[in-house]
Amino acid sequence: MKVTLEREGKNVVKLGIELEAERVKRAYEMACRELSKQVRIPGFRPGKAPRMILEKTIGEDNIKNEALQSLVPEVISEAVLKENLDLITAPEYSKVEFKLGEPLKLEAKFEVRPEVKLGKYKELEVNVPEVTLPADALERALANVAETRSSLAPVEGRASEMGDTVVLDFKATIDGEPMEGGNAESFVMELKEGAFLPNFCEQIVGKSKGDQFDVKASFPENYRRKDVAGKEAVFAVVLKEIRRKFVPDINDELAKAVGHESLDALKESLRGELDELVKQENEARAQRMVVEAVSHCAEVDIPETMIQREKELLVNQMRRYMEQQGQSFDEVASNPDFQQVIASKDDEAKQRVLTSLVLGAVVRAENITVEEDEMGPYFADLAMRYNLRPDQYQEFAANQEVRRQVAEEVLTGKVVELLVSSAKINYVADTECSDEHDHSVHEKKETEAAKS
């Protein structure tokens, strides 16, 4: 086999391959044998039809295509191994010349992994903005616990107020005509600014149980239903019930309701969970910043095609998430503001590709490998996550795509652990985050702790 190599651009390689005629002949004959077993030819048992009859029945070109299906991947694999190429895309074939009795000639073009020149990646010193809990973290966590035990109870003897939950019947009309899908019975809604439609809740405030009245509200211009977007509707409303949320006091009784012996025991549990959440976040920050520092020290010319493929992956993830939430991605994407969101994915895609390339270079430099027993816990976690039965687990763990993904995850964890363990990490005051952002991060953590 003769192989010629030509480089195009940053990371595109074109291989010219010429395969000896004898090997091509053997592949053609093998294809004949396989096809003769599959094609029913009158007068011949499966697999017994002569080659000449088979060629007349299904055509020489079809036999050649069958031969190429198995021969070309095998030949490409040998050529890639011979030239020591690291492919990142599937080959694109061109100029395939296949004549019986002559060498097979073809060209294949693909992208190879760009060269990464690692800088210093061990014993780096990194300053990590430290996550800390505000002084009232425990009080807010306790409030969140109480919130989870809150309940709604009917309110009598007063008009509705913002913050109440109301039960409504309504019928909507637009330009005096009934709106399709605009009727509802026992519709439950919390009265808060911006709920349902702009200025809808505000017109219910002050009304009492049993009142009948009209509410005028306009649908937003970008409303998902184009037939009513931007139009004003009149809702004939009947206020059936007013409810108010009651939050229990924070005391021993609340603690017992959520599975603790006393309020002190609940506080101790929450402190432990909050501390663990902060620890995990600080470790995650340290990992991110060490990897960013290693990437910053490396030299690599990233092809635009890799960035665009990664961007497409990120956008497709957004699409799947929106569709799972019942939203139309195409409708949301048509909004000019959303185009800025998509454009912002360029930087994220570039950083992800850079990180992947640099971590891969460290893996090769350190000769890091993945052992079978290291993958076991990941398979078990996935099996639990997808609620697999024992009889499904073996097939799941044997799936090659699943195994590849798990191996990549294990490998990434090992290389990041290597980099972090060798780095000197200094936790410093988090001056990059505003008080408001910091507060929201802590509030999220406290909510998670309260739910657990």
Per-residue model confidence as pLDDT tens digits over 53-75 = 888 888 888 888 888 988 988 99
Residues 65-93 have a mean pLDDT of 88
Both 233 and 88 in a single domain? Answer: no
In this prediction, residue 48 carries a pLDDT of: 80
Q: Is residue 130 part of a domain?
A: no
Final residue before a domain boundary, out of 209, 231, 246:
246
Domain harbouring 107, CATH code: 3.30.70.1050
Q: Please give the model's pTM, rounded to 2 decimal places.
A: 0.70
Could you tell me if 101 and 68 lie in one domain? yes
> What does the buried/exposed string (b/e) look like for 146-170 if buried means 16 or more CB atoms within 10 Å of the residue's CB?
beeeeeeeebeeeebeeebbbbbeb
The answer to whether residues 30 and 163 belong to one domain is no
Residue 85 predicted with pLDDT over 70: yes
Separate counts of helices (H) and strands (E) for the chain: 14, 13
Distance CA 235, CA 239 (A): 12
Range of the domain at 179: 151-246
Residue 204, phi then psi, degrees to nearest 5: -90, -25
- Domain identity same for 287 and 234: no
Total domain count for the chain? 3
User: Mean pLDDT across the chain, nearest whole number?
Assistant: 88
Look at residues 176, 174, 168 and name the one whose alpha carbon lies nearest to residue 225.
174
Decide: residue 21, CB within 10 A, 0-12 exposed, 13-18 middle, 19+ buried.
middle
Tokens read off for 172: 């909507």
H/E run at residue 107? strand 104-111
Please, what is the angle between helix 400-422 and helix 345-366, to 10°? 80
pLDDT at res. 145:
96
The token pair that represents 185 in the structure block: 């019975």
Question: Do 391 and 411 have their domain in common?
Answer: yes
Tokens of residue 160, six digits: 């509705």
Query: What does the pLDDT look like over 118-176, one tens digit per residue?
Result: 999 999 999 999 999 999 999 999 999 999 999 999 999 999 999 999 999 999 999 99
Co-location of 194 and 281 in the same domain? no
Same-domain check for residues 388 and 263: yes
C-alpha Rg value of the chain to the nearest Å: 33
Q: Is residue 136 part of a domain?
A: no
Question: CATH number of the domain that 207 lies in?
Answer: 3.10.50.40
- Helix orientation angle between 345-366 and 336-343, rounded to the nearest 10 degrees: 20
